[in-house]
Amino acid sequence: MTISINGNIPNGSIEVVSAVNSSDIKLSLRKDQGTDFFGYYHFRASGVRGVPCTFRIVNAGESAVNRLAGRDDYENAWTNTGPLVSYDRKWWFRVPGRLVGPDYVFEHTPEYDSCYYATWAPYPLERELELLGRCQMSPRMMLSTIGHTVEGADLDMLTIGKPGDGKRVCWIIARQHPSETMGGFFVEGFLERMLDPHDPVVLDLLDRAVFHVVPNMNPDGSRRGNTRANAAGANLNREWVSPGLERSPEVFHVRALMEKTGVDFAMDCHGDEELRCNFLGGPLEIPSRSERLKSLFNAFERSWAAASPEYELGHPYPGGSPAEADLTMAWNWIAERFDCLSILLEQPFKDTSWREDPVQGWSPERALRFGTTLPTAVNNVLDQLR
Ligand SMILES: [Zn+2]
């Protein structure tokens, strides 16, 4: 039987250079349309039961050079980590991979006929729609389509609790960068907990706050299996100063709603390919930075560390503080505009160093459970937000 490699699956992305010889499958990472962003892969291998396969991603090294500033002391995205692998698209495990010159190489002998490989587990559209459906049936949640993407997909927002005088307004957004799917699982965990009618922390929180949640800021990019961009080639997390309806309608609509509701607390959920921890960025370098925001951020960090060992103190945003925040990024723009506690969350692609999981690394299961701890962390600082 001949083997077949295909990136033409939901949320898929890969280019096949050569798949004639199972011991030398050559693949290439695809760039997001009209951009130089690349790094994410997700593909299906078929006809591979019992076949020893060697996969070689020939341009991975090129993408490893594309790094954020101040990261020279950290290992790059491809070092000491392996792809997530699944037969049923639900349970994802790791196999080891390594950089050999410009190539990223991994070997695997699948136990079944077809097998999926990905930088990190995809968050399927079907799962997203089922989650939204489950949430809208809760008496405490309301689902709104707040606009449309470049390609006309619905942009959905859940509102939890009833807005009211004196209530704090909290926003949670995720997946501006479509490859950072751990943000989707994290938000799912958060929502699952917020659905619980008997959870005392949630009840206490909703007495005093209302939440607006956008689980997927970039549905087009997600569907295409993009690394960072939307369908117009925009990096949405650089569009917050002047979003446009043609280039970045996703940000345009969310920003317009934030102007209507105001914001007292915000979290923007991302993933980091290099570090081995969950870490946060705070409103520390915005032009109107203040002692108030700094101590709020510190209080939130302590609150989350007390709520979950998955959030460890002592992992500041790497590379040191920039002199001035980049306001084109969501968390900085929100903090500056609303003078509020606005936070960037980065979950690892690889694993955490405090507790290594040799089978899965950082996994959808862990991201989801981490999300369930956010209500406690927010509840403890809610009364200090204003
Ligand atoms: Zn990101």
Alpha-carbon torsion angle 151, 152, 153, 155, nearest 10: 110
Look at residue 373 in the predicted model and tell me its pLDDT.
98
Look at residue 1 in the predicted model and tell me its pLDDT.
66
What CATH number is given for 4-118 in this structure?
2.60.40.3120
Which residues neighbour 4 within 8 Å (Cβ) at sequence distance 6 or greater?
19, 45, 46, 47
pLDDT of 340 > 80? The answer is yes
CATH superfamily placement of domain 125-384 = Zn peptidases (3.40.630.10)
Look at residue 194 in the predicted model and tell me its pLDDT.
98
Whether residue 273 lies in the annotated active site: no
Phi-psi region of 240 (alpha: psi -120 to 50; beta: other; left: phi over 0): alpha
Instruction: Give the distance (Å) from ligand 1 centre to CA of residue 17.
Output: 28
Instruction: Give the distance (Å) from ligand 1 centre to CA of residue 180.
Output: 6
Instruction: Give the distance (Å) from ligand 1 centre to CA of residue 366.
Output: 18
Mean pLDDT, residues 48-70 = 88
Residue 155 and residue 128: Cα distance in Å, rounded? 12
**Whole-number average pLDDT of the chain:** 96
Instruction: Give the distance (Å) from ligand 1 centre to CA of residue 48.
Output: 33
pLDDT for 94-136, tens place per residue? 999 999 999 999 999 999 999 999 999 999 999 999 999 999 9
Instruction: Give the distance (Å) from ligand 1 centre to CA of residue 346.
Output: 7
Pick the catalytic residue: 151, 250, 346, 365? 346
What residues does each domain of the chain span?
4-118, 125-384
Which residues neighbour 133 within 8 Å (Cβ) at sequence distance 6 or greater?
none
pLDDT for 130-149, tens place per residue? 999 999 999 999 999 999 99
Neighbouring CB atoms inside 10 A of 162's CB total 10
Residue 374 and residue 308: Cα distance in Å, rounded? 9
Given this chain, do its domains 4-118 and 125-384 carry the same CATH topology?
no
Look at residue 321 in the predicted model and tell me its pLDDT.
75
Instruction: Give the distance (Å) from ligand 1 centre to CA of residue 177.
Output: 5
Among 39-48, 73-82, 161-170, 203-212, name the one with the lowest average pLDDT. 73-82
Mean pLDDT, residues 237-256 = 98
Look at residue 64 in the predicted model and tell me its pLDDT.
72
Which residues hold their Cβ within 5 A of ligand 1, which is an ion?
Answer: 177, 180, 270
DSSP conformational letter for 384? G
Residue 367 and residue 85: Cα distance in Å, rounded? 17
Task: Tally helices (H) and strands (E) across the chain.
Answer: 10, 17
Instruction: Give the distance (Å) from ligand 1 centre to CA of residue 270.
Output: 4
